[in-house]
Amino acid sequence: MLKRKLGPSVTFFPQPTTLVSSVDGQGTSNLMTASWVGIVSKTPPTIGLSLNHSRKTYANIKATQSFVINMVPASLAVEADYCGLRSGREDEKASVTGLTLESASLVEAPLVAESPLSVECRLISEIPLGEYSLLLGEIVEIHACEEAFKDDGRMDALAFDPLVYLGGIREYWSLGEKKAQAYRDGKKFFKP
């Protein structure tokens, strides 16, 4: 496969499209679209979120030590894009987009009701990276939409319909079809 060198950049995809919800010290909520998010540890369950220090969301998280990562379904691509284009210092993004904020179980930051998967986090660490910081949040609760569960209790990925961001191309995409079963299909390469 012939490859083109792009130099150091942030071109790596797909990235999850998420709405990070936070609240400031006065109780005012904010939404921010972020794709630099991912699970970084299973024990303890920890998620990483990279934010620029100038963001209102960064200040909110530092003030309250909490945030919620809300998965964006493909049906909310335009709303998510808006939440990434505007600052919470300028607009009340939930009311502009029609998104509904509801109380979380264990943290101050709210959940986005229209999100099929919301992850409540408590800030446990910060790693400075130039103008950014990698914020590590302990996952304290996860809310998954009831429609995502089959009769046998297994989750159906299609019900979540996650939106992904192609950072180098600046496009949002939905996911396609299942290609393999994790922790099973790769075993065909095991030697007997």
Tell me phi and psi for residue 111, to 5 degrees. -90, 155
pLDDT at 106: 98
Return the higher-pLDDT residue of 145 and 179.
Answer: 145
Residue 2 lies in a domain: no
d(CA 95, CA 101): 9
pTM for the complete prediction? 0.92
pLDDT at 175: 85
Tens of pLDDT along 76-125? 999 999 999 998 898 899 999 999 999 999 999 999 999 999 999 999 99
Residue 114 lies in a domain: yes
Residue 5 lies in a domain: no
CATH code of the domain covering residue 24: 2.30.110.10
Strand 46-52 and strand 15-16: the pairing is unpaired
Asked if residues 116 and 174 have their Cβ atoms less than 8 Å apart, the reply is no
Residue 121 lies in a domain: yes
pLDDT at 152: 94
Task: State which residues form the domain around 19.
Answer: 15-189
Asked if residues 62 and 71 have their Cβ atoms less than 8 Å apart, the reply is no
User: Does residue 132 surpass a pLDDT of 80?
Assistant: yes
Range with the poorest average pLDDT among 100-109, 132-141, 167-176: 167-176
In sign, the C-alpha dihedral spanning 80, 132, 59, 118 is positive
Grade residue 180 by pLDDT with cuts at 50, 70 and 90.
confident
Residue 26 lies in a domain: yes
Hey, how many other C-beta atoms are within 10 angstroms of the C-beta on 123? 17
Q: Which residue has the tokens 């990434």?
A: 84
Tens of pLDDT along 149-170? 999 999 988 889 999 998 878 8
DSSP letter, residue 74: G
Residue 171 lies in a domain: yes
- Average pLDDT value over all residues in the chain: 93
Name the domain count of the chain: 1
153 burial type by CB count under 10 A (0-12 exposed, 13-18 middle, 19+ buried): exposed
Cis? peptide before 192, omega within 30° of 0: no
Rg over alpha carbons for the chain, rounded to the nearest Å, is: 18
User: Does residue 178 surpass a pLDDT of 80?
Assistant: no
User: Does residue 61 surpass a pLDDT of 80?
Assistant: yes
Residue 4 lies in a domain: no
Tens of pLDDT along 11-53? 888 899 999 999 999 999 999 999 999 999 999 999 999 999 9
Q: Once rounded to an integer, what is the mean pLDDT over residues 51-73?
A: 97
Residue 3 lies in a domain: no
End-to-end CA distance of the chain: 31
